[in-house]
Amino acid sequence: MIKRSSARDRILETASQLFQERGYSEVGINEIIDKADTAKATFYQHFPSKESLCTEWLKAVHERSERVRQEILDSDLAPAEKIDRYFVGLGQFLEENDFRGCPYTNTGAVIDEECACIREKIESHKLAIRAFFHKLTAELCPTGRRAKALGDTLFLLFSGATVEGQNLRSLWPVEAARAAAGELCARESDPTAS
Amino acid sequence: MIKRSSARDRILETASQLFQERGYSEVGINEIIDKADTAKATFYQHFPSKESLCTEWLKAVHERSERVRQEILDSDLAPAEKIDRYFVGLGQFLEENDFRGCPYTNTGAVIDEECACIREKIESHKLAIRAFFHKLTAELCPTGRRAKALGDTLFLLFSGATVEGQNLRSLWPVEAARAAAGELCARESDPTAS
DNA sequence: TCATAAACAGACAGACTTGTCTGTAAAGTG
DNA sequence: CACTTTACAGACAAGTCTGTCTGTTTATGA
């Protein structure tokens, strides 16, 4: 007989999907356990609260996205190509998730102010993405002291593309951001070009 | 005796404040009517549902933001200065609202998919901002066929600054976006500069 | 002054929420 | 086999939510 995945895994996976699709605050525990085909007592045996389920979910999301960034960094592409690849990946992510945008941003918009634990996770996730761009722009223009500013610009283009892709349910913001990033990188590595 | 503002006005004003502070889905009607010092029957006399209150709120937000953009367009500043002014205004807005970000984006993250009425409002609000940037970039470089692309880039920087200002509770994303926008504008109006 | 409209207070319905609890059944381990 | 962990089923508490309803009070205008 096929061993079913553990109840905990089913709960976390189901919750991840539902949170991503409709948002943390719009999904209740009852629905999660129904769809995960488990019992409420089992849920509370593995997670002390709904909030802890949220942090586990976000942790998994962060780890996966860090792996993606690390793979890009480890690849032998040129810096500008690495950046381009990351924007292409964003487009795929949005399409795969029905343009639901960033789980961190979406969650941050609904949890209350005093939930410091989740707020910190949001901040560090965003700063990790920013640091990723900083690494790449430093690689791109090792002599330029504008690497940091360029990294911030790319980070903001990336965020803007994510959120407007979500708002407009469209891929054009990602493509526009990608094109802008490509041009900025080209200009930075060859400042004399038009 | 001082005439108190009408119950409807009090409800809408109170709801606007609470929705902005904590998000549409996190604020209940009971809290709104308590804080607005009115009765539930009165609420339902003026608004058929909570959702209709939401659309009224968003409508008012949109109208105010359109006025701000129109004022900038009507001013006698140079195009690049108009753009700069809009970014400065964003920083003020975020500070005044405790970095709660864009009401439209925040609401879009929690309302369900089939609520087409609100989805449309989000889309047209965002496209209005984009059109604003397009107008300015067309003014900035009347001959350049890259005006549209530049407008989109500025739009995405603006969105990115808004959402990351919210996520990080900080003003640096706005300042970084502003600086990047300034540089892009300068380069566009004088393409030979470094 | 009288009539009409608006606002009031608040009970109520019915469905939802998170979380606790009791007890039972199954599965893995010595 | 016996023991222990894990999962299951689901009632229950205590609270939330939106929305309806009844009836009273206050204000406004003819």
B27-59 per-residue burial string, b: 16 or more CB within 10 A, e: under 16: bebeebbebbebeeebbeebbeebeebbbbbbe
pLDDT of residue B190: 62
Cα–Cα distance for residue pair B151/B111, rounded to 1 Å:
29
Contact A53, A13 (CB under 8 A): no
User: Which of strand C's nucleotides are less than 7 A from any protein C-beta?
Assistant: 6-11, 16-23, 28
Host H or E run for residue B154: helix B147-168
pLDDT recorded at residue A7: 83
pLDDT < 50 positions in chain B: 1-3, 193-194
- C1' nearest to CA of A51: which nucleotide? C18
Identify which of A100, A110, A108, A150 has the alpha carbon closest to the alpha carbon of residue A126: A108
Poorest-confidence range of A123-132, A182-191, B44-53, B135-144?
Answer: A182-191
* Domains of chain A with bracketed CATH: 1-47 (1.10.10.60), 59-189 (1.10.357.10)
- CB proximity under 8 Å: B 66-105 to A: 101, 104-105
D7 C1' to A63 CA distance, Å: 29
Q: Which among A122, A160, A180 has the least Cβ separation from residue B159?
A: A160
From chain B residues 113-152, the ones with a CB under 8 A of any chain A CB are 122-123, 126-127, 149, 152
Note the strand D nucleotides within 7 A of protein beta carbons.
6-11, 16-23, 28
How high does pLDDT run on average in chain A? 92
Q: Is the CB of B167 under 7 A from strand D?
A: no
If contacts are CB pairs under 8 Å, which of residues 19-38 in chain B contact chain A? Answer: 22-23, 25-26
In A, residues 156-185, which contact B (CB 8 Å cutoff)? 156-164, 166-169, 172-173, 176-177, 179-180
| B8 Cβ contacts chain C strand, under 7 Å | yes
A8 touches strand D (CB under 7 A): yes
Residue A113: closest C-alpha in chain B: B22
* Of B15, B175, B27, B24, nearest in space to B112 by CA: B24
- B54 and B118 Cβ atoms separated by less than 8 Å: yes
Q: Provide the b/e sequence for B5-20 (b: ≥16 CB within 10 Å).
A: eebbebbbebbbbbbb
C-beta of residue B133 within 8 angstroms of C-beta of residue B69: no
Give the one of A25, A105, A180 whose C-beta lies nearest to B163's C-beta.
A105
Q: What is the pLDDT of residues A135-162, one digit of tens each?
A: 999 999 877 778 999 999 999 999 999 9
Q: How far apart are the first and last CA of chain A?
A: 66
The CA distance from A58 to A64, in Å, is 10
What's the CA A38/C1' D13 distance, rounded, in angstroms? 22
pLDDT at B4: 59
pLDDT band at A192 (very low <50, low <70, confident <90, very high): low
Which residues of B are less than 8 Å from A167 in CB distance?
A: 104-105, 108, 122-123, 126
Residue A189 has pLDDT above 80, yes or no: no
Q: Which of B15, B25, B87 is nearest to B57 (CA)?
A: B15
Q: Taking CB atoms and an 8 Å limit, are A106 and B101 in contact across chains?
A: no
Q: What is the CA radius of gyration of chain B?
A: 19
For the stretch B88-103, pLDDT in tens is: 999 999 999 999 999 9
| B127 close to A126: Cβ distance less than 8 angstroms | no
Burial (0-12, 13-18, 19+ Cβ within 10 Å), B149: middle
pLDDT tens-place string over residues A55-98:
999 999 999 999 999 999 999 999 999 999 999 999 999 999 99
Question: Could you tell me if B29 and B15 are in contact, meaning their C-beta atoms sit under 8 angstroms apart?
Answer: no
**How far is it, in rounded angstroms, from Cα B30 to Cα B43?**
10
Question: For residue A194, is pLDDT > 50?
Answer: no
Q: Do A168 and B106 touch (CB under 8 A)?
A: no
